[in-house]
Amino acid sequence: MRFFDYKKIAGKSWDSELLGLVGAIYKEAGKQELYLKQKPDKLEKLVEIAKIQSTKASNEIEGIVTTDTRIRQLMKEKTAPKNRDENEIAGYRDVLAVIHESFDAIPITQNYILQLHKILFSYTQNPDAGRTKSVQNYISATYPDGHTETLFTPLDPFETPEALDRICAEYNRVIGNKELEPLIAIPVFIHDFLCIHPFNDGNGRMSRLLTTLLLYRAGFYVGKYVSLEAKIAKNKDLYYDSLSESQNGWHDGKDDPVPFIKYLLGTVLSAYKDFEERFTIVEGNPSALESVRKAVLMKIGRFSKQDIIALCPSLSLSSIEGSLRKLVANGEIVRAGKGKNTFYTRIG
């Protein structure tokens, strides 16, 4: 059985890059708190959009998809799931809603993690919902020539319940006793969770939901307004690379979690930066045209329509396209390229 001692991690020497990420996140979290006090009503739209993006992205990473229209309908509970993929999307929606609404009343214990897993599969007939794995699972990769290689072998099923209890106990101990910085303890816990791989199905999605839960409980609420899952999906190769690098030697306690810690903290910091930009755009209740103009002024060099959509998630696609056309007609930006290769540049 792998031994877990998070207090030992606290004694490690951290490099300036990692410490810089921690300091920058605290700075951005403080700024966000001020923004929320100033204009809380302006940000409700961002909350709903982040929920949609998180649910869509986290499931797409696992190959679970449906149309954007169906995602929006499912998120608003205006339709029932029509197939297996939509059943799983609806389950993710429900777990995310529970975390958003009750994160401070969800202790980090195996029992609660199993309950969240059961909700994740509540629309399916999965007999393993809410139970740790019954068969050995593997983390593998399939290559272009079709062959598959096992990259990492998680714990055996019989070891899993005790290991899950242990990482929960260790996390709660170092957080409760303030023995380890939460922004380091969180990725360490998630890394161990993924190495244990406690379920037959749903490990990746549960890890991302637990990341949001742990961040909320530690006072970092950026995932409520900017989808962390969407950021992970956008750079999922970096996600898998950092995880793979940190897994080396894990069974013997000789692993180095730093690559994964840096990846996750970098993702969180990027989300905080996005939040600040989006807040700046919605501040003052601007029109669609003015919102897009503000977004354009934040871009340097070439930018695409997708770049503007990312900065203005509360605007419809038609509003963004119409505003870009007006800015082109006004001579404020120049459009070049065709189709998917279309890009814009600012004038002046």
| Chain centroid to CA 316 | 23
The residues near 303 (Cβ < 8 Å, ≥ 6 apart) are 296, 343, 344, 345
Q: Where in the chain are the domains?
A: 6-281, 286-346
Does pLDDT of 310 surpass 90?
no
Q: Are 181 and 261 in contact (CB under 8 A)?
A: no
Q: Yes or no: is domain 286-346 CATH 1.10.10.10?
A: yes
Check the CA dihedral 46-47-48-54 and report its sign. Answer: positive
Q: Give the pLDDT score at 147.
A: 81
Task: Quote the CA–CA distance of 176 and 189 in Å, as a whole number.
Answer: 15
Does pLDDT of 10 surpass 80?
yes
Q: pTM for this one?
A: 0.89
Task: Quote the CA–CA distance of 243 and 227 in Å, as a whole number.
Answer: 20
Helix (H, G, I), strand (E, B) or coil at 241: helix
Q: What is the CA radius of gyration of the chain?
A: 21
Which residue has 């799983």 as its token pair?
Answer: 88
At 38, the pLDDT band (50, 70, 90 cuts) reads confident
| Six token digits for residue 186 | 């969180």
6-281, CATH topology level = Fic-like fold (1.10.3290)
* Mean pLDDT, rounded, of the chain: 94
Q: DSSP alpha helices (H): ranges in 133-257?
A: 160-176, 182-196, 203-217, 228-234, 236-247
Does pLDDT of 45 surpass 90?
no
Does pLDDT of 6 surpass 80?
yes
Q: Give the pLDDT score at 23.
A: 98
Task: Quote the CA–CA distance of 104 and 107 in Å, as a whole number.
Answer: 8
68: number of CA atoms within 13 Å, CB side? 4
